[in-house]
Amino acid sequence: MNLRDKLGKEFVIATELGGTVGANVSKSLEDIKRYKKVDALNVIDCASARLRINSFMLAHIILTEFPELDVVPHLTCRDRSILGLQADLLGGNSLGVKNILATTGDAPHEGPYKDSKPVFNLTSIELIKLINNLNNGLDYNGKEIKGNTDFFVSATAAPGTKSPDMEIDRMRRKIEAKAGFFQTQPMYDAEKTKNFLSKANDLSTPILLGIMPLKSLKMAKFMNENVAGIDISEDVMDKIENGVKGVEIAKEFIKEIYGSEGLSGIHIMALGDVDATNEIIDFTRKLG
């Protein structure tokens, strides 16, 4: 059963591959062999505006080596014009890519290439609409093309935002654009998460909740101060300061929210830490 069929029917566990640095993909392929069984593997698109291999091309390499995997490459609006987005989507489809996460992308100034110019020709919602057009054999202008793509589209959501009702409305607009499921930013507060999931349940669209084990107090403070939509409570900060490992905090959080109304699964973002990811996978599978 593929990802599209599993969502909404069983608890799904997704994770993401750590960034492939440079041209050598051998470490990434070795890491995949080490991961415990997951339902989907995300491939980032130059996250934090740092140089990484093209996500569609890496997804194709992974699918060639591991055809049983559901790979979800990310596609950002940051680097590509309307023409470029369509060309990459047609190419990804021809390489056998069937899933995609449509996202805005981190601005270039967040990375090391200060002379890199942002494109942002489309919003993430407009990108989802564009993908749906191609799925229906139409280009951006609504003109018929030869053949069609067959992407199952994922979108992002931010449960930790200060305006949850606005975020629900934004998710609704993404669904109207034909997003098939959501993968969220990481959450750390169980009650806030449950409240958000309860509201989002009316959208009738699967949600995979982001889980990011914190590696240090410094990392937690940086995320709180610099990443929009992230809200790490003082209680979690205190635990980290007192030596509680991020993986243990993540497991405790998963136990609290597991089975919540509106939750279809989790998306583990452990920044390439295979051991931490596997520990969380094992723990979560036992809850079921």
Query: Could you report the per-residue pLDDT of 101-120, keeping only the tens digit for each?
Result: 999 998 998 899 999 999 99
- Contact call for residues 257 and 209 (beta carbons, < 8 A): yes
Pairing outcome for strands 12-17 and 40-43 = parallel
| Residues 6 or more apart in contact with residue 62 via CB below 8 angstroms | 17, 28, 29, 32, 41, 43, 69, 71
Beta bridge partners of 13: 266
User: CA-CA distance, 275 to 98, in Å (whole number)?
Assistant: 28
The pTM score is 0.95
Q: What share of the chain is helix, strand, coil (3-state, %, to 5)?
A: 45, 15, 40
- Contact call for residues 153 and 128 (beta carbons, < 8 A): yes
Mean pLDDT over residues 242-263, rounded?
Answer: 96
User: CA-CA distance, 186 to 229, in Å (whole number)?
Assistant: 9
pLDDT in tens, 160-216: 988 999 999 999 999 999 999 999 999 999 999 999 999 999 999 999 999 999 999
> What are the start-end ranges of the E strands in 57-180?
71-76, 99-103, 152-157
Please tell me the predicted confidence (pLDDT) of residue 20.
85
Please tell me the predicted confidence (pLDDT) of residue 226.
80
- Contact call for residues 207 and 9 (beta carbons, < 8 A): no
Domains of the chain by range and CATH? Answer: 3-287 (3.20.20.220)
pLDDT exceeds 80 at position 229: no
Task: Give me the residue label for tokens 């989907």.
Answer: 40
- Contact call for residues 137 and 148 (beta carbons, < 8 A): yes
pLDDT in tens, 26-71: 999 999 999 999 999 999 999 888 999 999 999 999 999 999 999 9
pLDDT exceeds 90 at position 159: yes
